[in-house]
Structure 1
Amino acid sequence: MHIFAHFSRFCAGIGGFMSKNIAIFASGNGTNAENIIRYFQNSELVNVELVLTNRESAFVLERARSLNVPFACMGKAEWMDGTAVLSLLENRGIDFIVLAGFLARVPDCILHAYPNKIINIHPSLLPKFGGKGMYGDRVHEAVVAAGETETGITIHYLNEHFDEGEIIVQYKCPVVAEDTAGDVAKKVHALEYEYYPKVIDSLLSEVR
Protein backbone atom coordinates (compact mmCIF):
# COMPACT_ATOMS: atom_id res chain seq x y z
CA MET A 1 0.00 0.00 0.00
CA HIS A 2 1.22 3.49 -0.82
CA ILE A 3 -0.43 6.39 1.00
CA PHE A 4 0.26 9.99 0.05
CA ALA A 5 -2.03 12.04 2.27
CA HIS A 6 -1.26 15.75 2.18
CA PHE A 7 -3.64 16.88 4.87
CA SER A 8 -7.08 16.24 6.33
CA ARG A 9 -9.66 18.98 6.22
CA PHE A 10 -11.68 19.62 9.35
CA CYS A 11 -15.09 17.96 9.37
CA ALA A 12 -17.50 20.07 11.35
CA GLY A 13 -21.19 20.49 11.91
CA ILE A 14 -22.65 23.21 9.73
CA GLY A 15 -26.14 24.46 10.45
CA GLY A 16 -26.97 21.31 12.42
CA PHE A 17 -25.61 18.93 9.75
CA MET A 18 -22.34 17.06 9.73
CA SER A 19 -20.35 17.49 6.55
CA LYS A 20 -20.03 14.32 4.47
CA ASN A 21 -16.64 12.88 3.58
CA ILE A 22 -16.47 11.19 0.19
CA ALA A 23 -13.80 9.00 -1.36
CA ILE A 24 -13.28 8.84 -5.12
CA PHE A 25 -12.05 5.55 -6.61
CA ALA A 26 -10.35 6.00 -10.00
CA SER A 27 -7.93 3.98 -12.13
CA GLY A 28 -6.87 6.28 -14.92
CA ASN A 29 -6.56 9.84 -16.12
CA GLY A 30 -8.99 11.20 -13.55
CA THR A 31 -10.86 13.90 -15.45
CA ASN A 32 -14.14 12.97 -13.78
CA ALA A 33 -12.43 12.84 -10.39
CA GLU A 34 -10.99 16.34 -10.89
CA ASN A 35 -14.37 17.65 -12.01
CA ILE A 36 -15.99 16.29 -8.84
CA ILE A 37 -13.24 17.69 -6.62
CA ARG A 38 -13.56 21.14 -8.16
CA TYR A 39 -17.37 21.04 -7.88
CA PHE A 40 -17.17 20.50 -4.10
CA GLN A 41 -14.04 22.59 -3.48
CA ASN A 42 -15.91 25.38 -1.71
CA SER A 43 -18.66 23.27 -0.20
CA GLU A 44 -19.16 23.38 3.55
CA LEU A 45 -21.26 20.21 3.53
CA VAL A 46 -19.39 17.85 1.18
CA ASN A 47 -15.68 17.16 1.48
CA VAL A 48 -13.61 15.07 -0.95
CA GLU A 49 -11.47 13.45 1.72
CA LEU A 50 -9.64 10.81 -0.31
CA VAL A 51 -8.75 9.75 -3.85
CA LEU A 52 -7.97 6.04 -4.03
CA THR A 53 -6.55 4.11 -6.97
CA ASN A 54 -5.35 0.62 -7.83
CA ARG A 55 -2.61 1.83 -10.21
CA GLU A 56 0.56 3.66 -9.21
CA SER A 57 0.80 5.14 -12.72
CA ALA A 58 -2.74 6.56 -12.69
CA PHE A 59 -2.64 10.27 -13.54
CA VAL A 60 -5.52 10.85 -11.13
CA LEU A 61 -2.86 10.83 -8.38
CA GLU A 62 -1.24 13.91 -9.91
CA ARG A 63 -4.61 15.60 -10.13
CA ALA A 64 -5.29 14.89 -6.47
CA ARG A 65 -1.83 16.15 -5.52
CA SER A 66 -2.30 19.42 -7.39
CA LEU A 67 -5.72 19.95 -5.79
CA ASN A 68 -4.47 19.19 -2.27
CA VAL A 69 -6.68 16.15 -1.79
CA PRO A 70 -5.29 13.20 0.21
CA PHE A 71 -4.61 10.21 -2.02
CA ALA A 72 -3.50 6.59 -1.82
CA CYS A 73 -2.66 3.64 -4.03
CA MET A 74 -3.49 0.07 -3.03
CA GLY A 75 -2.00 -2.98 -4.72
CA LYS A 76 -3.81 -5.92 -6.32
CA ALA A 77 -3.63 -8.13 -3.23
CA GLU A 78 -5.05 -5.39 -1.04
CA TRP A 79 -7.98 -4.87 -3.41
CA MET A 80 -8.68 -8.60 -3.55
CA ASP A 81 -8.71 -8.92 0.25
CA GLY A 82 -10.30 -5.54 0.95
CA THR A 83 -9.60 -5.27 4.68
CA ALA A 84 -6.75 -2.76 4.35
CA VAL A 85 -8.84 -0.65 1.97
CA LEU A 86 -11.80 -0.71 4.35
CA SER A 87 -9.55 0.21 7.27
CA LEU A 88 -8.23 3.22 5.35
CA LEU A 89 -11.76 4.35 4.49
CA GLU A 90 -12.82 4.06 8.12
CA ASN A 91 -9.72 5.89 9.36
CA ARG A 92 -10.45 8.76 6.97
CA GLY A 93 -14.06 8.92 8.12
CA ILE A 94 -15.48 8.19 4.67
CA ASP A 95 -19.28 8.36 4.47
CA PHE A 96 -19.82 7.83 0.75
CA ILE A 97 -17.84 6.34 -2.16
CA VAL A 98 -17.87 7.53 -5.77
CA LEU A 99 -16.41 5.46 -8.60
CA ALA A 100 -15.02 7.54 -11.46
CA GLY A 101 -13.39 5.31 -14.04
CA PHE A 102 -12.43 2.64 -11.50
CA LEU A 103 -11.60 -0.68 -13.17
CA ALA A 104 -10.99 -3.03 -10.24
CA ARG A 105 -13.69 -4.99 -8.46
CA VAL A 106 -14.77 -3.43 -5.17
CA PRO A 107 -14.38 -6.08 -2.43
CA ASP A 108 -17.48 -7.50 -0.77
CA CYS A 109 -16.43 -6.26 2.67
CA ILE A 110 -16.59 -2.68 1.38
CA LEU A 111 -19.93 -3.26 -0.35
CA HIS A 112 -21.34 -4.59 2.92
CA ALA A 113 -19.87 -1.72 4.97
CA TYR A 114 -21.34 0.92 2.63
CA PRO A 115 -24.82 -0.31 1.58
CA ASN A 116 -26.38 2.10 -0.93
CA LYS A 117 -23.45 4.44 -0.32
CA ILE A 118 -21.31 3.49 -3.32
CA ILE A 119 -22.19 4.79 -6.78
CA ASN A 120 -20.72 4.32 -10.23
CA ILE A 121 -21.06 6.07 -13.57
CA HIS A 122 -21.18 4.03 -16.77
CA PRO A 123 -20.83 5.55 -20.28
CA SER A 124 -23.92 3.96 -21.82
CA LEU A 125 -27.61 3.51 -21.18
CA LEU A 126 -27.53 0.34 -19.10
CA PRO A 127 -28.32 -2.48 -19.45
CA LYS A 128 -26.99 -1.89 -22.96
CA PHE A 129 -23.22 -2.14 -23.38
CA GLY A 130 -22.47 -3.00 -19.77
CA GLY A 131 -20.69 -5.82 -17.98
CA LYS A 132 -17.13 -6.91 -17.35
CA GLY A 133 -14.64 -5.44 -19.79
CA MET A 134 -17.03 -2.78 -21.08
CA TYR A 135 -15.53 0.58 -20.24
CA GLY A 136 -14.24 3.73 -21.93
CA ASP A 137 -13.72 3.60 -25.69
CA ARG A 138 -14.83 -0.03 -25.85
CA VAL A 139 -18.34 1.12 -24.98
CA HIS A 140 -18.39 3.96 -27.50
CA GLU A 141 -17.06 1.70 -30.27
CA ALA A 142 -19.77 -0.85 -29.50
CA VAL A 143 -22.45 1.86 -29.60
CA VAL A 144 -21.33 3.02 -33.05
CA ALA A 145 -20.94 -0.54 -34.36
CA ALA A 146 -24.49 -1.38 -33.23
CA GLY A 147 -25.93 1.61 -35.10
CA GLU A 148 -27.49 3.10 -31.97
CA THR A 149 -29.31 6.41 -32.41
CA GLU A 150 -28.80 7.45 -28.80
CA THR A 151 -26.51 6.74 -25.89
CA GLY A 152 -25.68 8.49 -22.65
CA ILE A 153 -24.66 7.86 -19.06
CA THR A 154 -26.05 5.72 -16.27
CA ILE A 155 -25.43 6.56 -12.62
CA HIS A 156 -26.18 3.56 -10.42
CA TYR A 157 -25.56 2.00 -7.03
CA LEU A 158 -22.86 -0.63 -6.87
CA ASN A 159 -23.49 -4.28 -6.10
CA GLU A 160 -21.56 -7.55 -6.50
CA HIS A 161 -22.07 -7.66 -10.28
CA PHE A 162 -20.55 -5.37 -12.91
CA ASP A 163 -22.99 -2.63 -13.97
CA GLU A 164 -26.05 -4.38 -12.49
CA GLY A 165 -26.73 -2.21 -9.43
CA GLU A 166 -29.96 -0.24 -9.05
CA ILE A 167 -30.12 2.61 -11.55
CA ILE A 168 -30.39 6.07 -10.01
CA VAL A 169 -30.67 8.16 -13.16
CA GLN A 170 -29.78 8.19 -16.87
CA TYR A 171 -29.02 11.09 -19.19
CA LYS A 172 -29.14 10.75 -22.98
CA CYS A 173 -27.47 12.23 -26.05
CA PRO A 174 -28.07 11.56 -29.75
CA VAL A 175 -25.82 9.46 -31.96
CA VAL A 176 -25.91 10.38 -35.64
CA ALA A 177 -24.75 8.28 -38.57
CA GLU A 178 -21.60 10.35 -39.06
CA ASP A 179 -20.44 10.00 -35.44
CA THR A 180 -17.22 8.17 -34.72
CA ALA A 181 -16.48 6.56 -31.36
CA GLY A 182 -14.47 9.69 -30.56
CA ASP A 183 -17.45 11.91 -31.32
CA VAL A 184 -19.66 9.79 -29.05
CA ALA A 185 -17.04 9.93 -26.31
CA LYS A 186 -17.09 13.75 -26.36
CA LYS A 187 -20.88 13.83 -26.01
CA VAL A 188 -20.85 11.32 -23.18
CA HIS A 189 -18.03 13.09 -21.34
CA ALA A 190 -20.01 16.33 -21.49
CA LEU A 191 -22.92 14.57 -19.78
CA GLU A 192 -20.60 13.10 -17.15
CA TYR A 193 -19.03 16.45 -16.29
CA GLU A 194 -22.38 18.23 -16.10
CA TYR A 195 -24.43 15.72 -14.16
CA TYR A 196 -22.27 13.43 -12.02
CA PRO A 197 -21.34 16.03 -9.37
CA LYS A 198 -24.94 17.27 -9.23
CA VAL A 199 -26.27 13.76 -8.64
CA ILE A 200 -23.70 13.15 -5.91
CA ASP A 201 -24.71 16.42 -4.25
CA SER A 202 -28.39 15.50 -4.47
CA LEU A 203 -27.87 12.04 -2.99
CA LEU A 204 -25.85 13.40 -0.10
CA SER A 205 -28.47 16.07 0.53
CA GLU A 206 -31.05 13.35 1.09
CA VAL A 207 -29.05 11.74 3.91
CA ARG A 208 -27.96 14.88 5.77
Structure 2
Amino acid sequence: MKRIAVFASGSGSNTENIVKFFRNNDLARVTIILSNKKDAYVLERAQQLGVPSISFNREDFYNSNKIVRTLEEQGIDMVVLAGFLWLVPQSLIDKYDGRIVNIHPALLPKYGGKGMFGMNVHNAVVAEKETETGITIHYVNGRYDEGNVIFQAKVSVNPSDTPEMVADKVHHLEYEHFPKIVEKLIATL
Protein backbone atom coordinates (compact mmCIF):
# COMPACT_ATOMS: atom_id res chain seq x y z
CA MET A 1 0.00 0.00 0.00
CA LYS A 2 1.46 3.33 -1.10
CA ARG A 3 1.45 6.25 1.31
CA ILE A 4 0.46 9.80 0.35
CA ALA A 5 1.24 13.04 2.19
CA VAL A 6 -0.96 16.02 1.40
CA PHE A 7 0.24 19.59 1.98
CA ALA A 8 -2.41 22.33 2.24
CA SER A 9 -2.60 25.93 3.43
CA GLY A 10 -6.34 26.59 3.57
CA SER A 11 -9.71 25.00 4.12
CA GLY A 12 -8.73 21.64 2.65
CA SER A 13 -11.70 20.74 0.46
CA ASN A 14 -9.41 19.13 -2.13
CA THR A 15 -7.53 17.37 0.67
CA GLU A 16 -10.77 15.93 2.04
CA ASN A 17 -11.78 14.80 -1.44
CA ILE A 18 -8.45 13.00 -1.91
CA VAL A 19 -8.62 11.37 1.55
CA LYS A 20 -12.12 10.07 0.84
CA PHE A 21 -11.17 8.88 -2.66
CA PHE A 22 -8.34 6.73 -1.28
CA ARG A 23 -10.11 5.62 1.91
CA ASN A 24 -11.27 2.30 0.37
CA ASN A 25 -8.63 2.10 -2.32
CA ASP A 26 -6.29 -0.91 -2.36
CA LEU A 27 -3.50 1.09 -4.00
CA ALA A 28 -2.83 3.96 -1.58
CA ARG A 29 -3.93 5.94 1.46
CA VAL A 30 -3.41 9.50 2.66
CA THR A 31 -1.45 8.88 5.85
CA ILE A 32 -0.53 12.43 6.88
CA ILE A 33 -1.71 15.97 6.21
CA LEU A 34 0.71 18.87 6.65
CA SER A 35 -0.02 22.58 6.80
CA ASN A 36 2.08 25.71 7.01
CA LYS A 37 -0.70 27.43 8.97
CA LYS A 38 -1.43 26.19 12.48
CA ASP A 39 -5.00 27.56 12.30
CA ALA A 40 -5.83 26.28 8.79
CA TYR A 41 -9.20 24.55 8.58
CA VAL A 42 -7.54 21.65 6.77
CA LEU A 43 -6.13 20.54 10.16
CA GLU A 44 -9.65 20.36 11.59
CA ARG A 45 -10.73 18.38 8.54
CA ALA A 46 -7.80 16.01 9.11
CA GLN A 47 -8.98 15.39 12.67
CA GLN A 48 -12.57 14.79 11.49
CA LEU A 49 -11.27 12.36 8.87
CA GLY A 50 -9.02 10.54 11.34
CA VAL A 51 -5.82 11.36 9.44
CA PRO A 52 -2.73 12.40 11.42
CA SER A 53 -1.66 15.98 10.77
CA ILE A 54 1.05 18.46 11.67
CA SER A 55 1.64 22.14 11.16
CA PHE A 56 5.04 23.68 10.61
CA ASN A 57 6.68 27.08 10.27
CA ARG A 58 9.12 28.61 7.78
CA GLU A 59 12.14 27.60 9.86
CA ASP A 60 11.03 23.93 9.89
CA PHE A 61 10.33 23.96 6.16
CA TYR A 62 13.23 25.92 4.72
CA ASN A 63 16.08 25.74 7.25
CA SER A 64 15.89 22.23 8.66
CA ASN A 65 15.31 18.64 7.56
CA LYS A 66 12.33 18.27 9.88
CA ILE A 67 9.71 17.90 7.13
CA VAL A 68 11.81 15.57 4.98
CA ARG A 69 12.53 13.46 8.08
CA THR A 70 8.83 13.36 8.97
CA LEU A 71 7.95 12.14 5.47
CA GLU A 72 10.72 9.53 5.59
CA GLU A 73 9.52 8.29 9.00
CA GLN A 74 6.00 8.00 7.57
CA GLY A 75 7.27 6.00 4.57
CA ILE A 76 5.71 8.48 2.16
CA ASP A 77 5.71 7.50 -1.52
CA MET A 78 4.06 10.59 -3.03
CA VAL A 79 3.56 14.22 -2.00
CA VAL A 80 0.41 16.02 -3.15
CA LEU A 81 0.06 19.80 -2.89
CA ALA A 82 -3.61 20.76 -2.58
CA GLY A 83 -3.82 24.50 -2.10
CA PHE A 84 -0.34 24.76 -0.60
CA LEU A 85 1.02 28.26 -1.13
CA TRP A 86 4.73 28.07 -0.28
CA LEU A 87 7.49 27.31 -2.75
CA VAL A 88 8.79 23.80 -2.08
CA PRO A 89 12.45 23.73 -0.96
CA GLN A 90 15.02 21.94 -3.11
CA SER A 91 15.75 19.38 -0.37
CA LEU A 92 12.17 18.11 -0.57
CA ILE A 93 12.15 18.19 -4.37
CA ASP A 94 15.39 16.19 -4.44
CA LYS A 95 14.05 13.59 -2.00
CA TYR A 96 10.77 13.14 -3.89
CA ASP A 97 11.94 13.87 -7.42
CA GLY A 98 9.09 13.17 -9.83
CA ARG A 99 6.78 12.32 -6.93
CA ILE A 100 5.47 15.78 -5.95
CA VAL A 101 2.38 17.04 -7.75
CA ASN A 102 0.39 20.24 -7.50
CA ILE A 103 -2.97 21.40 -8.78
CA HIS A 104 -3.39 24.92 -10.12
CA PRO A 105 -6.79 26.56 -10.75
CA ALA A 106 -6.01 27.77 -14.28
CA LEU A 107 -4.67 26.53 -17.58
CA LEU A 108 -0.95 27.05 -17.11
CA PRO A 109 1.14 28.81 -18.24
CA LYS A 110 -1.64 31.41 -18.01
CA TYR A 111 -2.33 32.85 -14.56
CA GLY A 112 0.50 31.08 -12.79
CA GLY A 113 3.32 32.24 -10.57
CA LYS A 114 3.73 33.80 -7.15
CA GLY A 115 0.52 35.33 -5.86
CA MET A 116 -1.66 33.57 -8.42
CA PHE A 117 -3.87 31.31 -6.33
CA GLY A 118 -7.53 30.94 -5.48
CA MET A 119 -9.70 33.96 -6.12
CA ASN A 120 -6.71 35.95 -7.42
CA VAL A 121 -6.69 33.60 -10.41
CA HIS A 122 -10.45 33.64 -10.96
CA ASN A 123 -10.60 37.44 -10.69
CA ALA A 124 -7.87 37.71 -13.32
CA VAL A 125 -9.59 35.24 -15.64
CA VAL A 126 -12.82 37.23 -15.54
CA ALA A 127 -11.03 40.61 -15.80
CA GLU A 128 -9.22 39.42 -18.93
CA LYS A 129 -12.52 38.20 -20.44
CA GLU A 130 -11.20 34.70 -21.00
CA THR A 131 -13.60 32.31 -22.72
CA GLU A 132 -12.19 29.23 -20.97
CA THR A 133 -10.22 28.31 -17.90
CA GLY A 134 -9.64 25.10 -16.01
CA ILE A 135 -7.16 23.16 -13.95
CA THR A 136 -3.57 22.09 -14.42
CA ILE A 137 -2.02 19.21 -12.51
CA HIS A 138 1.75 19.38 -12.75
CA TYR A 139 4.97 18.12 -11.26
CA VAL A 140 6.63 20.46 -8.78
CA ASN A 141 10.02 21.98 -9.43
CA GLY A 142 11.82 24.89 -7.75
CA ARG A 143 9.61 27.59 -9.34
CA TYR A 144 5.96 28.45 -8.87
CA ASP A 145 3.72 26.65 -11.37
CA GLU A 146 6.48 25.82 -13.86
CA GLY A 147 6.81 22.06 -13.46
CA ASN A 148 5.94 19.73 -16.32
CA VAL A 149 2.22 19.52 -16.99
CA ILE A 150 0.62 16.13 -16.31
CA PHE A 151 -3.03 16.91 -17.04
CA GLN A 152 -5.35 19.79 -17.89
CA ALA A 153 -9.14 20.02 -17.99
CA LYS A 154 -11.10 22.96 -19.36
CA VAL A 155 -14.38 24.67 -18.63
CA SER A 156 -16.04 27.53 -20.48
CA VAL A 157 -16.26 31.02 -19.03
CA ASN A 158 -19.39 32.92 -20.02
CA PRO A 159 -19.39 36.72 -20.36
CA SER A 160 -21.88 36.90 -17.46
CA ASP A 161 -19.80 34.68 -15.10
CA THR A 162 -18.57 36.23 -11.88
CA PRO A 163 -15.24 35.16 -10.34
CA GLU A 164 -17.24 33.14 -7.80
CA MET A 165 -19.06 31.30 -10.58
CA VAL A 166 -15.74 30.55 -12.28
CA ALA A 167 -14.32 29.32 -8.96
CA ASP A 168 -17.26 26.94 -8.59
CA LYS A 169 -16.73 25.52 -12.09
CA VAL A 170 -13.02 25.06 -11.44
CA HIS A 171 -13.65 23.37 -8.07
CA HIS A 172 -15.85 20.81 -9.81
CA LEU A 173 -12.98 20.00 -12.18
CA GLU A 174 -10.56 19.72 -9.25
CA TYR A 175 -12.81 17.33 -7.34
CA GLU A 176 -13.49 15.22 -10.41
CA HIS A 177 -9.96 14.88 -11.75
CA PHE A 178 -7.32 15.42 -9.04
CA PRO A 179 -7.77 12.14 -7.11
CA LYS A 180 -7.95 10.11 -10.33
CA ILE A 181 -4.72 11.61 -11.67
CA VAL A 182 -2.96 11.03 -8.33
CA GLU A 183 -4.15 7.40 -8.48
CA LYS A 184 -2.76 6.97 -12.02
CA LEU A 185 0.58 8.47 -10.99
CA ILE A 186 0.96 6.45 -7.82
CA ALA A 187 0.13 3.27 -9.72
CA THR A 188 3.36 3.76 -11.68
CA LEU A 189 5.58 3.94 -8.58
Q: What interval of TM-score do these two structures reach, taking the shorter chain for normalisation?
A: over 0.9
Q: Is the 8 A contact 1:24 1:33 kept in 2?
A: yes
Larger Rg: 1
User: Paired residue for 1:115?
Assistant: 97
User: Paired residue for 2:106?
Assistant: 124
Q: Is the 8 A contact 1:130 1:163 kept in 2?
A: yes
Q: Give the alignment's Cα RMSD to 1 decimal.
A: 0.7
Corresponding residue pairs, total? 189
User: Paired residue for 1:64?
Assistant: 46
Matches of 1:193 and 1:137, distance apart in 2: 17
Partner of 2:23, secondary structure, is coil
User: Paired residue for 2:121?
Assistant: 139
Matches of 2:29 and 2:166, distance apart in 1: 32
Matches of 1:63 and 1:31, distance apart in 2: 8
Partner of 2:85, secondary structure, is coil
Change (3 A) 1:107 1:90: same
Uncovered stretches (5+) of structure 2, i.e. residues with no partner: none
Q: What amino acid maps onto 2:15 in structure 1?
A: A
What's the offset of the Cα at 1:160? 0.3
Uncovered stretches (5+) of structure 1, i.e. residues with no partner: 1-18
What's the offset of the Cα at 1:82? 4.4
Question: 1:47 and 2:29 equivalent?
Answer: yes
Q: Runs of at least 4 residues of structure 1 off by over 6 A?
A: none
Structure 2 counterparts to residues 45-194 of structure 1, below 5 A? 45-194=27-176
Q: What amino acid maps onto 2:150 in structure 1?
A: I
What's the offset of the Cα at 1:129? 0.3
Matches of 1:148 and 1:81, distance apart in 2: 40
Query: TM-score, normalization: structure 2?
Result: 0.99
What's the offset of the Cα at 1:44? 2.1
What's the offset of the Cα at 1:134? 0.3
